[in-house]
C-alpha cells in the first residue's frame, strides 16, 4: 500500500509529490493525459514561481520579464493607465514546460509519475483509500493511506468524496500570436463583465491574448472582439475553467485537495500556480499519512497563509465592476510607480507601496 496517491500532475500535485517523496514517503502520481497538455492556463506569473523549480531549469522556462501593466477601460485604443516598477515585477514562462519540469523533479525525488491514466473511482475506506484508474493497458486498482486531489476545477476526487465545490467557476479563453514581442508591459482591459481581458508579450514565443468571464457570457465572441481590436489572428485557442473562492473544507477523512481542486487561486486574476504550490508545501510539512487527523493541520496551515490574501483579492476584484467614472478616478489617482507584489493584495498597504505613492 502506498503512502499517498496524487491525482493530477499540475504544479500543485507535482510540487507536493516532490516534497513528500523527498521526505521518504511512497508516492504514486496519476495524470490523465500528457503532462502539461492541453494548455489551459496563462504563463504570466510572479517572480517567485520559478523558485519552486530546480535552479538549472529556470532559464529555459523564462520567456520574458515584465515591469508593469497598462490598464484600459476600453480597447487597445483607449487611454492607458500605467502601473510599473523599476525592477522586474513578473515574468512570462513556458507554461507547458513548467508542468513537465515539476513532474520530472517529483520523479527525480523518488515519486512514481504515470501519465495517460484516468482516475475513474475513489473509494474511502476506514483505513485506506482505493483508487481505480484506466490506462492503455486496462483498469487497475491501487490502495493508499491518503489521496491528494490535484485534478483541477472539476475535480473527480472532490466529487467522489463529497467535498464542496468552489464558490464560482469562470470561463477563460487563451489564444496565441506567434509574432515575437519583447515588450515590458502587459495590457489589462477592464471591459469584460466582472473580470478582464489581457495581452501578454512572451518574447520570442509571441503574444498571449486572453480573457475570463462568468458563465453565461459569450467568451468566444468577446475573445474575437479583443483580437480584432488588436488586428491579429491567433494561431491556436484553448479554454478552461477558473475556480474562485475556496470552500469551507478541502479535506475529508483520508483525502485532501490542492490547487485548482481546492480553489486556491487569486480572485482578482484567477492565477493559482504559486498559491497551489504554497499549499502543497504546507501539506508536505503538516500531513502524516499514518495519522489522518493531521489533515486538519493542513487546513489550518494553508488558510493561515493564504486566507487573508484570498479575501483581500476578492475585494480587489469588486473594483472591476465599479461604474466607469469611479474606475477612471481610481486609475488616474493610483497609476504610476507601485510597490506591490502581484500575488499579495496585502502589499497594497505595505511600506513599499506607500513610499511609491508619496514619492511621485
Domains of the chain (ranges; CATH) run 2-319 (3.50.50.60), 321-358 (no CATH)
Q: Which of 300, 302, 315, 298 is nearest to 264 (CA)?
A: 302
pLDDT digits (tens, 9 = 90+) for 45-64: 999 999 999 999 999 999 99
Query: What pLDDT score was predicted for residue 9?
Result: 97
Share of the chain above pLDDT 90, in %: 88
Distances (CA, A) of 182 to 110, 210, 334: 38, 18, 26
Calpha distance 169→310 (Å, rounded): 15
Calpha distance 291→233 (Å, rounded): 54
Strand, helix or coil at 357? helix
Is 234 exposed, middle or buried (CB count within 10 Å of its CB: 0-12, 13-18, 19+)? buried
Query: What pLDDT score was predicted for residue 360?
Result: 67
Q: How confident is the model at residue 210 (pLDDT cuts 50, 70, 90)?
A: very high
Average pLDDT, the chain: 95
Q: How confident is the model at residue 216 (pLDDT cuts 50, 70, 90)?
A: confident
pLDDT digits (tens, 9 = 90+) for 88-124: 999 999 999 999 999 999 999 999 999 999 999 999 9
Helix axes 273-286 and 11-22, enclosed angle (nearest 10) = 30
Helix axes 273-286 and 295-318, enclosed angle (nearest 10) = 160
Share of the chain above pLDDT 70, in %: 100
Amino acid at each position: 500500500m502506498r503512502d499517498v496517491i496524487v491525482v493530477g500532475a499540475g504544479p500543485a500535485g507535482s510540487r507536493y509529490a516532490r516534497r513528500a517523496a523527498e521526505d521518504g514517503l511512497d508516492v504514486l502520481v496519476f495524470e490523465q493525459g500528457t503532462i502539461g497538455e492541453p494548455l489551459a492556463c496563462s504563463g504570466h506569473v510572479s517572480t517567485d514561481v520559478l523558485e519552486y523549480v530546480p535552479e538549472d531549469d529556470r532559464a529555459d522556462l523564462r520567456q520574458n520579464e515584465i515591469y508593469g501593466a497598462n490598464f484600459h477601460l476600453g480597447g487597445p485604443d483607449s487611454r492607458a493607465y500605467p502601473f510599473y516598477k523599476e525592477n522586474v515585477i513578473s515574468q512570462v514562462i513556458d507554461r507547458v514546460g513548467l508542468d513537465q519540469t515539476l513532474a520530472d523533479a517529483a520523479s527525480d525525488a523518488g515519486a512514481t509519475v504515470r501519465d495517460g491514466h484516468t482516475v475513474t473511482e475513489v473509494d474511502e475506506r476506514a483505513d485506506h483509500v482505493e483508487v481505480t484508474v484506466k490506462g492503455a493497458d486496462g483498469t487497475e486498482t491501487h490502495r493508499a493511506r491518503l489521496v491528494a486531489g490535484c485534478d483541477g476545477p472539476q475535480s473527480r476526487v472532490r466529487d467522489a468524496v463529497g467535498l464542496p465545490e468552489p464558490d464560482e467557476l469562470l470561463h477563460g479563453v487563451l489564444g496565441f500570436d506567434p509574432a515575437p514581442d519583447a515588450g515590458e508591459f502587459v495590457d489589462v482591459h477592464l471591459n469584460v463583465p466582472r473580470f478582464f481581458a489581457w495581452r501578454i508579450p512572451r518574447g520570442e514565443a509571441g503574444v498571449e491574448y486572453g480573457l475570463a468571464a462568468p458563465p453565461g457570457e459569450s467568451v468566444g465572441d468577446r475573445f474575437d472582439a479583443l483580437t480584432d481590436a488588436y488586428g491579429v489572428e491567433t494561431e491556436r485557442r484553448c479554454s478552461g475553467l477558473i475556480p474562485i473562492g475556496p470552500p469551507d473544507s478541502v479535506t475529508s477523512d483520508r483525502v485532501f485537495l490542492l490547487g485548482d481542486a481546492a480553489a486556491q487561486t487569486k480572485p482578482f486574476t484567477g492565477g493559482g500556480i504559486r498559491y497551489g504550490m504554497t499549499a502543497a508545501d504546507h501539506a508536505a510539512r503538516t500531513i502524516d499519512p499514518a495519522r489522518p487527523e493531521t489533515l486538519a493541520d493542513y487546513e489550518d496551515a494553508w488558510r493561515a497563509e493564504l486566507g487573508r490574501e484570498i479575501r483581500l483579492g476578492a475585494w480587489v476584484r469588486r473594483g472591476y465592476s465599479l461604474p466607469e467614472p469611479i474606475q477612471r478616478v481610481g486609475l488616474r489617482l493610483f497609476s504610476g510607480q507601485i510597490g506591490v507584489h502581484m500575488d499579495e493584495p496585502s502589499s497594497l498597504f505595505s511600506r513599499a507601496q506607500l513610499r511609491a505613492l508619496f514619492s511621485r
